[in-house]
Amino acid sequence: MTFTLPPLPYSLEALEPHVSARTLSFHHGKHHAAYVTKLNELVKGTPLAEKSLEEVVRATAGDASRTPIFNNAAQAWNHGFFWPCMTPRGGGSPSGDLKSAIESAFGSVDAMKKEFAEAAAAQFGTGWAWLASDKGKLKVFATEDADTPLTEGKTPLLTVDVWEHAYYLYYQNRRPDFIAAFLDHLVDCEFAADNFSRVK
């Protein structure tokens, strides 16, 4: 297979009690895996099979004839980026250059978190909320379904998955509680800072 399912950067139980092992098992082992499997089926024998996942996402974005490829490639990429956005004993606030950039763009880290949480909670149906760099300026926004900042020239620093499969087994319809747990207990500020260090 051209594309493979990346392993989680922690055990299934590592994010409990905020994300259950059962949720991670389904989310990673079923949903993410299905995107990767379907993508391989769709690109088999085509030039896209020789490209990187990012290249496939960018090459198929906006092409209605290749929407199934885009959807599966973008979801595979989004999920691969999402897993390291979380870490056991995460939460807290970023420091250093990222903190300064957030304060410049939003006024404070708390203000950024509030805007991020609101964007994630308000996303209707399925999608993602992002903190990203847009030509050096930090922005918070949501995307629908499989859409990703990669196709808009923005560099993702952090994301949260707000498709129901990300939280429903544990939180049911309480999406804001999942978002709060992500920001307060799971978010890996060092991962975001490392992403930021490469785009300044």
**Tokens 């509680």 -> residue:** 177
The pLDDT score that the predictor gives to residue 63 is 96
**What CATH number did the domain enclosing 80 receive?**
1.10.287.990
The answer to whether residue 81 is domain-embedded is yes
The pLDDT score that the predictor gives to residue 102 is 97
The pLDDT score that the predictor gives to residue 49 is 96
Verify that 111 and 65 share a domain, yes or no.
Answer: no
Verify that 104 and 178 share a domain, yes or no.
Answer: yes
- Assign residue 126 a region (left: φ > 0; alpha: ψ between -120 and 50; beta: otherwise): beta
The pLDDT score that the predictor gives to residue 199 is 83
CA dihedral 104→110→111→116, nearest 10 degrees, is 110
Which residues make Cβ contacts (< 8 Å) with residue 134, sequence separation at least 6?
A: 152, 153, 154, 155
**Tokens 């993602």 -> residue:** 128
The pLDDT score that the predictor gives to residue 86 is 98
44 exposed, middle or buried (CB, 10 Å; 0-12, 13-18, 19+)? exposed
Q: How far is CA 122 from CA 38, 119, 141, 151, 180, in A?
A: 29, 5, 10, 22, 14
Boundary (domain end) residue, out of 58, 85, 112? 85
- The verdict on pTM exceeding 0.75 is yes
The pLDDT score that the predictor gives to residue 169 is 86
Verify that 69 and 113 share a domain, yes or no.
Answer: no
Is the link from the previous residue into 9 a cis peptide, with omega within 30 of 0? no
The tens-digit pLDDT sequence of the chain (200 residues) is: 589 999 999 999 999 999 999 999 999 999 999 999 999 999 999 999 999 999 999 999 999 999 999 999 999 999 999 999 999 999 989 989 999 999 999 999 999 999 999 999 999 999 999 999 998 899 999 999 999 999 999 999 999 999 999 999 889 999 999 999 999 999 999 999 999 998 85
The answer to whether residue 188 is domain-embedded is yes
For residue 49, give its domain range.
21-85
The pLDDT score that the predictor gives to residue 1 is 57
